[in-house]
Amino acid sequence: MKTPTLLSTITMTLLMLFTLNISAQEFKGLDKSPMDAAAFPTDYKNANKLIKVVYSRPQLKERSLEKLAPNGKVWRTGANEATELTLYTDMMLGDTKIAAGTYTFYVIPGEKEWTAIISKDLNVWGSYFYNEDKDVARISVPVTEGKESLESFSIAFTESENGVDMHLGWDKARIAVPFTK
């Protein structure tokens, strides 16, 4: 039997260290506010989407909605990174035409109405660096009260007479933001 050479010993040692390093990779656990997406049409087999939103879903966890999304302050519309809205066709928000593209979607909660904001800012963490000068459109919409409390912040879309409504729900607050064609 041959004795290993110094070069083969070093090569084997490096190979073992490299292999151990790969298998020792640590993966992050499940996020406390997992990322989600909603789109319209909701039929996921339909590739012709009009609108899509990617957001993180914070939980109430025995905290008040007003503490997590304070009235009168710009909120990222979820958790972690600011919510990202993609329009696949030109749409209207109120009287403002918005070109197809990807935007940041913020809201300003209020007792009786919330202000929905579309901003041309992208890749923004939270609403800490929100800049009103980058707003593309704003609309105020009424708040209604749902029958049941939602533990997780949620967004869903429904077809409306003239376009698509984006529904925001958390705790008992319900907001419908109308996008028209």
Domain boundaries, the chain: 33-180
- 26: pLDDT confidence band, cut at 50, 70 and 90? confident
> 């979607």: which residue's tokens?
105
Query: 88 with 100: CB under 8 angstroms?
Result: yes
Q: In what order do the strands lie in the sheet with 101-108?
A: 35-40, 51-56, 83-87, 101-108, 113-119, 135-159, 163-180, 91-93, 96-98
Q: What is the pLDDT of residues 130-167, one digit of tens each?
A: 999 999 999 999 999 999 999 999 999 999 999 999 99
Over its C-alpha atoms, the chain yields an Rg (Å, rounded) of 23
Angstrom distance (rounded) from CA 70 to CA 154: 17
CA 172 to chain centre: 20
- 32: pLDDT confidence band, cut at 50, 70 and 90? confident
Taking 70 as the threshold, does the pLDDT of residue 14 lie above it?
Answer: no
* Residue % of the chain over a pLDDT of 70: 86
| Residue 91, C-beta contacts closer than 8 angstroms, at least 6 positions apart | 50, 51, 97, 98, 100, 163, 164, 179, 180, 181
Burial 58-80, CB ≥16 within 10 A → b, else e? bbbeeeebeebbeeeebbbbbbb
How many CA atoms lie less than 13 Å away from 73 in the CB half-sphere?
Answer: 13
Angstrom distance (rounded) from CA 116 to CA 119: 10
170: tokens are 């958390």
- 19: pLDDT confidence band, cut at 50, 70 and 90? low
Q: Which of 18-32, 69-83, 132-146, 153-167 has the lowest mean pLDDT?
A: 18-32
CA 38 to chain centre: 9
Taking 70 as the threshold, does the pLDDT of residue 1 lie above it?
Answer: no
Task: List phi, psi (to 5°) of 20.
Answer: -65, -40
Q: Note the pLDDT of residue 67.
A: 93
Angstrom distance (rounded) from CA 44 to CA 49: 9
